[in-house]
Structure formats: C-alpha cells, structure tokens
Amino acid sequence: MLDFPSGKSKKWECCSVGALAQRAITPVEDDRPDTSGLEPAGAADPTQDDQSKGFHKDLSLLPKPLSAADLLSTPNDGSRVRVAYQGLPGAYSEAAALKRYPKCETVPCDDFEAAFKAVELWLVDKAVLPIENSVGGSIHRNYDLLLRHRLHIVGEVQLQVNHCLLVLPGTRQEDLKRVLSHPQALAQCEMTLMKLGVIRVSAEDTAGAAQIVASNNLRDTGAVASSRAAEIYGLNILAEKIQDDDDNITRFLILAREPIIPGTDRPYKTSIVFTLEEGPGMLFKALAVFALRGINLTKIESRPQRKRPLRVVDDSNKGSAKYFDYLFYIDFEASMAEPRAQHALGHLQEFAGFLRVLGCYPSDGIQ
C-alpha cells in the first residue's frame, strides 16, 4: 500500500465510518427546550431553578446516534418507509421500490427532480430512481441530478423488465392502430411493434400510457407497460414479454438524506464522481489506482461539466482549439470500510481536481 502525507489538504468528500455515525442522528421535532413560560432572570423560584438545572439530566431521554445494529434491526419490508419515484402507480420505478421495501408507502412524482426534492424536504424517506438499462444505456438526467443534489446512495435494485401490450377489454390485435409508451419502452419493443404495423406515440412513462388508454376509452390504442399497470387500470394483457431482448434489466439507485455505515459483512459497491486536469494519461492514472489494489470497476460514465463545458487550449487570436471538460462517474466493488478503498481514493485525490463519494451501499443481484 502507498502512504500519502497526512498534511495534504482533502478536497474529496468522503466521510469516515466515525463521521457517518455522528451524522446519522435520529431527527426530533424540536431539540430546543420550551422557554415560553420562563420569568425574567432573578425572579424565578429557587425550586424552579433547581428543576431547570436538571433539564435533560436523564440521558436516556436524549436521541441516540444510529448504529450498525439499529440498521440491521430495521424491518426489511419497509413498513415504516415512504419512497418517492418518478411516474404513476404501476411504473417500473414503483416495482423497484416494492422489491426493496415490500410494504413501503410509494409516493409518485411528476419528474426525477421532484423525487430528489421530496427527500430533501422530508416529505419522504427515500427515492428510487433508474440510472441505467441493459438495452437503453445510462439515464444521463439522473447522473446530473446526483451531482446537483446532496443526497446519498444507500442501495441499489436490479429489476427484470417485462413489457406487456395492454388494451381495453374486448380489443383485438387487429383493432390496434396506435401504441403509447415511454420512448425507451417503444424502442425496446421495436420488432414486435413493427410486425403489428402500428403507429408509435411517446408518453411520459409506461404507467401513464396505460392510464391514458383506460381513462379515454381508446379502443384502437394499446400501451406498452407492466402487468401491474394492467391490474391497476383495468386493462387486458394482449401479449407478454414483447421486448426484443429477454435480458432487459434496469438498475435503480436508492437515495436518502443520510449515508449508511459501510461494512464488510457482504459485497458492497461505492459510487464516486471526479474531475481530472488535462494531460497525457490522466484517465489511465485515475483507473490505475483501483487496478493496483485489485478493485474491480463495474461502471464508468463521463458527462460534460455544465458550468465549464469547454476549455480553451491556446490563446491564439486566429482561433482557439477547445475541448470538453468532463465529470467521471465510477462504481467499484469495495466498501469504504476497507483500507484498500480508502487508499485508492487517497491516491486518486492527488491528481483529481474534484472528488466526491456519492455513496457506499450493499450490492444487489437479479432474483
């Protein structure tokens, strides 16, 4: 392992296990004593003064920091959890939330930004948002939102996507002229829809498409959505698993206001974002800090910086060459509780202009 000077300034935003424990404080409605009934100084009764000195003397009444044991004792069914997601009831995002927290209260949001804000404003406990699909690729909007907001990734859910063709009861295949759904869902079912010879119409989300067909009594229109959406909106399933690729998997991230305490009792992933200065082999050096320590990378994504998308290379008055400044998002298989992960980020910080840990969380597999 490489040692680094302890006096070097730390620009990367990573909390140690101890710091995480201090931040994970159980919220209370008001941690300040009520002073509405107190008299001016000097006019108080001595007995009342004695009582005031005893305020919070019983330490057992104070809120306690969450520990690893507290996290393990939390019900796995999510019976006390409110989870935000983008879309309407029956969306795949809702299915991901219910897979992770079977008895949670799901809260639909109009868009991804609203789901982030719902967590920040304490309207919900967590948010579940898609980040990548095995067929459609990355969802860039949510990568940008991860950096804009200060939420923490506390888990992931991998969901098998099975698209169904939904219609009103009594509608036959030959009656269909149009099919509604999210653009990605339509693209993932392109071959099936081409065989049907229907017009493809984009909708905000898959469940929203099912709602439109049901609420408007569209006899000549179908929707590509989940089987759960068919149950919710009273539609029939004309065909199941109509996607072109059977191995259609969407990966979702679980976001919360506070990070979880990383451990080593199970496989963990860590997600980070960083920038690099321009120079030969800088990305190679960044990736090498993980390879040198036997850490496997599972995801790398680059996004142009919004605030500084272009950088001038020379100051020539005849025209300056320009190139993009990028943010690099990386997921790697290691827990921040492991020294090798801590040393890898310490090494990366030496030549990264900016480094932030987005979350350390247990890995999820397809079930």
Residue 100, both tokens: 């992770």
**Beta strand spans in 174-226 (E):** 178-181, 199-202, 221-225
Q: Which of 163, 154, 96, 88 is nearest to 126 (CA)?
A: 154
Is 252 marked active-site? yes
> Is the separation of the CB atoms in 112 and 141 below 8 Å?
yes
Instruction: Give CA–CA dist 25/268, Å, rounded.
Output: 23
Euclidean distance between CA atoms 65 and 337, whole angstroms: 19
CA-based nearest residue to 152, from 133, 124, 126, 115:
126
Residue 99 neighbours by CB under 8 Å, 6+ apart: 157, 159
Amino acid at 224: V
CA–CA dist 303, 307 (Å, integer)? 12
Strand-pair partners of 12: 355
Q: Nearest-5° angle of CA 49, CA 55, CA 56?
A: 165
Please tell me the distance from the alpha carbon of residue 197 to that of residue 176, in angstroms, as a whole number: 9
Among candidate residues 171, 192, 206, 252, the one labeled active-site is 252
Residue 171 annotated among the catalytic residues of the structure: no
The Cα 3–Cα 42 span in angstroms is: 60
Give the C-alpha separation, 91 to 98, whole Å.
11
Strand partners, 182: none
Half-sphere exposure of 74 (CA within 13 A, CB side): 15
Options 171, 206, 221, 250, the catalytic residue: 250
Q: Which two tokens stand for residue 352?
A: 């990264």
Catalytic (active-site) positions: 250, 252
